[in-house]
């Protein structure tokens, strides 16, 4: 049986009538280390238009550098990413 948050995800996806059976949702946690302050902005601005990226880099990079340098280890800045893996069988 899926976890409670997985049930919410399944409701949001509205798969009723899709013909899928044995639907399972698994929450995956990934640890990632960002090597530079610029990597933080690259990750945060993913998918944004170039004008917004330019503004963010001009206005935020200096503050991000301070925070990065305060919290980064020799491996970089540790962040956690979460993903939902949905598996099912077609009927």
Q: What is the pLDDT of residues 59-82, one digit of tens each?
A: 999 999 999 999 999 999 999 999
Q: Domain count of the chain?
A: 2
Any bridge partners for residue 86, and if so which?
A: 25
E strand or H helix that includes residue 27: strand 20-34
Work out the mean pLDDT of the chain and round it to a whole number: 90
Q: Cα separation of 38 and 62, whole Å? A: 10
Q: Which domain holds residue 4?
A: 1-29+82-91
41 and 68 in a single domain? The answer is yes
Handedness of CA 8, 12, 13, 14 (dihedral sign): positive
pLDDT computed for residue 14 by the predictor: 80
SS3 content of the chain, % helix, strand, coil (to 5): 45, 35, 20
Q: Is the pTM of this model over 0.75?
A: no
67 and 47 in a single domain? The answer is yes
14 and 41 in a single domain? The answer is no
25 and 42 in a single domain? The answer is no
Any bridge partners for residue 87, and if so which?
A: 24
- For the cut 50, the answer to whether the pLDDT of residue 1 exceeds it is no
């Amino acid at each position: 049986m899926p976890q409670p948050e997985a049930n919410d995800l399944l409701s949001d996806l509205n798969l009723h009538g899709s013909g899928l059976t044995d639907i399972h949702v698994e929450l995956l946690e990934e640890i990632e280390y960002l090597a530079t302050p610029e990597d933080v902005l690259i990750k945060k601005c993913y998918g944004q238009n170039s004008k917004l990226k330019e503004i963010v880099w001009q206005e935020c990079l200096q503050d991000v550098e301070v925070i990065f340098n305060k919290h980064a280890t020799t491996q970089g800045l540790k962040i956690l990413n979460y993903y939902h893996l949905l598996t099912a069988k077609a009927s």
